[in-house]
């Protein structure tokens, strides 16, 4: 029982306490890649701790049951096992069913979320094939729309999409800075990380860890892409481009340049010492 309590306490700590501490930590904005790994680590250890806690709880209850049966047998009060019954096998199955459910639940949601995202990307890619035009100079697909927006569509047929409004509004340097941001999303396969975070939230919807991990992961991935873009472009160019395209909306299956936490990211870009 001590093991059960220790594992349960750890699961509560990871699932309901540490997420608030991590989301408020200032170092996460200085090292967003490490912070994403930290959120993933918390999610993984929560599942493992919860599964083992349930396993040991069921195991301890089984030991109590076996002890009672043994005592009744000693007293000559135990009932005979019905012919063809397999109590040991049933007990073993029950011992594994509950913890296996905790592990398989997020995996099932991961598969469902990935499939749904893939379908959405395919539909949007089909639409872009009809209405989009290639801009070879920028390596992007141009869509005739007045609202300034820049986003990337991940997956096998990945591409960066720019609206006509963004082309008309941004300077060449600003446009290349925001395109570098989107290319960083594609090269880093950030959509896979977002899918995993979303699946974890769907598996454990009331868990503070799940909610905060999804919110913070989205913000941190944008910061990672910002940092990659700043390797070859100025802070002013990227910040201005972000402001100009912030109102543009990206499809659910895409990652937009305005993105999550635009004001936090702008402050981080323009005053890096404050991050």
> What secondary structure letter does DSSP report for 245?
H
- DSSP 3-state assignment of 214? helix
Asked whether the CA dihedral 10, 16, 21, 22 is positive or negative, the reply is positive
Predicted model pTM: 0.85
Whole-angstrom distance, CA of residue 4 vs CA of residue 61: 11
> What residues does each domain of the chain span?
2-75+88-274
- pLDDT the model gives residue 209: 98
According to the model, what pLDDT value does residue 84 have?
A: 46
Q: State residue 260's pLDDT score.
A: 66
Distances (CA, A) of 175 to 53, 109, 137, 271: 52, 37, 11, 21
What count of residues does the chain have?
A: 275
Residue 95, pLDDT score = 65
* Angle in degrees, CA 190, 166, 185, rounded to 5: 10
Element (H, E) at 201: helix 190-203
DSSP letter (8 states) at residue 140 = E
pLDDT score at 76: 44
Q: Which residues of the chain have pLDDT under 70?
A: 1, 60-95, 248, 253, 258-260, 274-275
SS (H, E, C) 73-93: HHCCCCCCCCCCCCHHHHHHH
């Amino acid at each position: 029982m001590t093991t059960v309590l220790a594992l349960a306490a750890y699961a509560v700590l990871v699932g309901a306490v540490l997420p608030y501490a991590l989301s408020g930590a200032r170092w996460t904005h200085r090292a967003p890649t490490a912070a994403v790994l930290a959120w993933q680590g918390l999610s993984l250890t929560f599942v493992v701790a919860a599964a083992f806690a349930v396993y040991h709880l069921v195991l301890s209850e089984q030991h109590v049951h076996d002890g009672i049966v043994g005592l009744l047998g000693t007293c000559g009060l135990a009932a005979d096992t019905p012919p063809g019954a397999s109590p040991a096998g049933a007990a073993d199955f029950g011992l594994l069913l509950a913890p296996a459910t905790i592990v398989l639940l997020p995996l099932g949601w991961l598969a469902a979320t990935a499939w749904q995202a893939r379908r959405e990307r395919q539909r949007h890619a089909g639409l872009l094939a009809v209405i989009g035009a290639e801009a070879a100079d920028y390596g992007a697909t141009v869509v005739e729309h007045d609202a300034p927006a820049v986003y990337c569509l991940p997956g096998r047929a990945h591409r960066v999409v720019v609206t006509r409004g963004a082309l008309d509004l941004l300077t060449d340097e600003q446009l290349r800075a925001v395109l570098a941001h989107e290319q960083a999303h594609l090269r880093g396969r950030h959509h896979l990380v977002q899918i995993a975070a979303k699946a974890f939230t769907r598996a454990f919807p009331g868990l503070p860890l799940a909610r905060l991990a999804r919110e913070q992961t989205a913000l941190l991935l944008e910061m990672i892409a910002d940092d990659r873009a700043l390797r070859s472009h100025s802070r002013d160019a990227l910040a201005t481009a972000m402001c100009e395209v912030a109102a543009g909306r990206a499809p659910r299956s895409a990652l937009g340049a305005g993105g999550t936490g635009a004001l936090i990211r702008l402050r981080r870009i323009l005053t890096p010492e404050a991050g």
